[in-house]
Amino acid sequence: MLMRLLLVFFVIITPVVATALEGKVVSVADGDTITVLSQGNQQTKIRLYGIDCPEDGQPFGRAAKKFTASLVAGKHVQVTQYDTDRYGRMVGVVTVSGRNINQSIIASGYAWQYRKYCLESFCSDWLGLEKQAKSAELGLWGENDPVPPWQWRTGTRNSSYQKASQGNKSSGSSYHGNVKSRVFHGPNCKYYNCKNCVIKFYSIDEAKKAGYRLHRECVKE
């Protein structure tokens, strides 16, 4: 009787994390979002747990998407669910033939460990993999001061991207973009280090492609 009670107690307090879904990946929306076709021709959108890839339009956004696609597109995957996000997407760890895809993306330098939402015990290991990728300058870590996507989204939410203008002028100086006004400033501008000037660009063309407009008093094309 005592053993039975202990077994029931163990089952109640022990969290169960099991494979929630298996199927074929039919779409890769971005570096951390895929769609899986399971039995019954049901499509389920999956947000990869614990990682955050560059957004589309952000430097390395397309590269991250391409890398994820190279790992999962058209392949049979298993999804272990850890959460459901506010958009109704299943949030989970994806594996292909035993390979942890979330972990591989971080280790290859195409994602950050998602500080705010990566809460499992293995997340500390993922942070270590991120640091190793950064040290080796893999993927996005080959860029100077890459901007975390959660910071990038703060500046682009509810804002539409403007068409990138022609030209590819670059200089040794960097430009600072104001995430609220969507204006970028040169190093000689008095607003260069303003409170909201937290996005760094290394060319006029890069800033414009991100949807920012130049401050004509201090930036000359």
What is the average pLDDT score of the chain?
83
Contact 205, 168 (CB under 8 A): yes
Statement to judge: residues 129 and 193 lie in one domain: no
Statement to judge: residues 107 and 24 lie in one domain: yes
Report pLDDT digits (tens) over 137-184: 999 999 888 999 998 887 754 333 333 323 333 344 688 888 778 888
Does a structural domain hold residue 110? yes
Domain with 47, as residue range(s), is 13-142
Does a structural domain hold residue 194? yes
CA distances from 174 to 29, 35, 145, 153 (A): 31, 38, 11, 21
pTM attached to this predicted model: 0.66
b/e code 183-202 from CB counts within 10 Å (16+ = b): bbbbeebebbeeeebbbbbb
Around Cβ 153, how many Cβ atoms within 10 Å? 14
Report how far residue 174's alpha carbon sits from residue 85's, in angstroms, rounded to the nearest whole number: 36
Judge whether residue 98 has pLDDT over 90: yes
Q: What is the average per-residue pLDDT within 186-211?
A: 81
CATH code of the domain containing 44: 2.40.50.90
Q: What is the pLDDT of residue 162?
A: 33
Instruction: Tell me whether residue 216 is one of the annotated catalytic residues.
Output: no
pLDDT band per the 50, 70, 90 thresholds, residue 194: confident
Report how far residue 65's alpha carbon sits from residue 59's, in angstroms, rounded to the nearest whole number: 12
Statement to judge: residues 71 and 164 lie in one domain: no
Q: In the chain, what percentage of residues exceed pLDDT 70?
A: 83
Statement to judge: residues 110 and 182 lie in one domain: no
Report pLDDT digits (tens) over 16-63: 456 789 999 999 999 999 999 999 899 999 999 999 999 988 989 999
Statement to judge: residues 95 and 183 lie in one domain: no
Among 62, 89, 153, 213, the one annotated catalytic: 89
Statement to judge: residues 86 and 55 lie in one domain: yes
Closest CA relative to residue 48, chosen from 107, 115, 118? 118
Does a structural domain hold residue 150? no
Statement to judge: residues 111 and 84 lie in one domain: yes
Statement to judge: residues 114 and 189 lie in one domain: no
Instruction: Tell me whether residue 206 is one of the annotated catalytic residues.
Output: no
Report how far residue 24's alpha carbon sits from residue 35's, in angstroms, rounded to the nearest whole number: 8
Statement to judge: residues 80 and 50 lie in one domain: yes
Instruction: Tell me whether residue 217 is one of the annotated catalytic residues.
Output: no
Q: Which of 10-14, 25-29, 208-212 has the highest mean pLDDT?
A: 25-29
Among 4, 22, 55, 137, the one annotated catalytic: 55
Does a structural domain hold residue 27? yes
